[in-house]
Structure 1
């Protein structure tokens, strides 16, 4: 007896001979089936529709809860090809085991001294690096690290342009004021 039509493998496959203990009570019953006379959760009544099975059976298409997805790279699996940080949750960390640099110090400094809006984006991206690394999303952590670096550099450039414009403004104002003041000669 198996717990529904779960195919030949995957997370939900049952050992031959049934589930817990391998023996079924003499009256039929069990976790996935009811005695033939009563219907119930394990079997659908004879007039029922749907997938042709009851609550304890999987749909005939083969994509139920108890089976592994047909493609590789799911949760807890290594992708067949190497390279990069992989992808998906539950994978092994890359060699070295340390998360990528989160650029948090540079993000904070450029937020304070350069450009506030772009710096805030950089801080948000840099805080995502460690949280993604801890849940096993190594590719996402590397991507967040690169985005944080990109945004703090943008903030630095915008801040440098801003300060150059401010200095030029003051120089122009000083020159115009100096030129408009009449010189007095004795």
Structure 2
């Protein structure tokens, strides 16, 4: 197959070894796998033997990097220690989860913001238990922020509802004729 004199390289030049879409010759036709050595046979989908490895095994750890053993976490810094497996900060008690305030604002103030506050407050103790002390402190601060937002939205809502009823009451009272006895 020839494309004429199109020069070396460039658009439209024919790749070395044949035309477009052709596959390199193999010993058994298209789509066949080469036989694997080592006594495993040459069947389809079989894995060649690897030096002592198997499914689910991890490579041995060197001395550096994140390649620790099973269950080890990469190092992190700042705040309350950051990663899992760190020592708790002095005092050893989890930060306040603001659960009572979250529930009260959920029920009495603003439902959508109260839901966010409740979710954040429930995350505090669970993060503390797994050793994510920085995440627990952050969830505590976010829970406090969201219940305060819910409280403010609830106060604004109830003030508007009361104003609405006052205006409706005044308009209804003005429209009723008074009797002159």
- Give deviations 1:111-166, integer Å, cap 9, x for gaps: 11111111111111100000000101011101110111111111101110110000
Q: Which moved more, 1:84-93 or 1:1-10?
A: 1-10
Q: How many residues are aligned here?
A: 175
Seen in structure 2, the aligned counterparts of structure 1 residues 180 and 165 have a Cα distance that, compared at 3 Å, is: same
Name the residue aligned to 1:6.
6
Cα displacement (A) at 1:4: 54
Q: Report if aligned partners of 1:77, 1:91 keep a CA contact under 8 Å in 2.
A: no
Cα displacement (A) at 1:173: 0.3
Seen in structure 2, the aligned counterparts of structure 1 residues 114 and 10 have a Cα distance that, compared at 3 Å, is: farther
Seen in structure 2, the aligned counterparts of structure 1 residues 148 and 45 have a Cα distance that, compared at 3 Å, is: same
Name the residue aligned to 2:39.
50
Q: Which moved more, 1:162-171 or 1:43-52?
A: 43-52
Q: Report if aligned partners of 2:102, 2:118 keep a CA contact under 8 Å in 1.
A: yes
What TM-score results when the alignment is normalised by the length of structure 2? Answer: 0.59
Seen in structure 2, the aligned counterparts of structure 1 residues 60 and 13 have a Cα distance that, compared at 3 Å, is: farther
Cα displacement (A) at 1:45: 14
Seen in structure 2, the aligned counterparts of structure 1 residues 9 and 96 have a Cα distance that, compared at 3 Å, is: farther
- Give deviations 1:9-61, integer Å, cap 9, x for gaps: 999999999999xxxxxxxxxxx999999999999999999999999999999
Structure 1 runs of 4+ off > 3 angstroms? Answer: 1-20, 32-83
Q: Secondary structure at the match of 1:6?
A: coil
Q: Which moved more, 1:54-63 or 1:122-131?
A: 54-63
Cα displacement (A) at 1:171: 0.2
Unmatched segments (≥5 aa) in structure 1: 21-31
Cα displacement (A) at 1:84: 2.0
Q: Following the alignment from structure 1 to structure 2, what is the Cα–Cα distance between the partners of residues 103 and 43?
A: 64
Tell me the C-alpha RMSD between the 2 structures: 15.8
Q: Report if aligned partners of 1:44, 1:55 keep a CA contact under 8 Å in 2.
A: yes
- Give deviations 1:56-109, integer Å, cap 9, x for gaps: 999999999999999999999999997521211100111111100000000001
Cα displacement (A) at 1:184: 1.4
What TM-score results when the alignment is normalised by the length of structure 1? Answer: 0.58
Q: Which has the larger radius of gyration?
A: 2
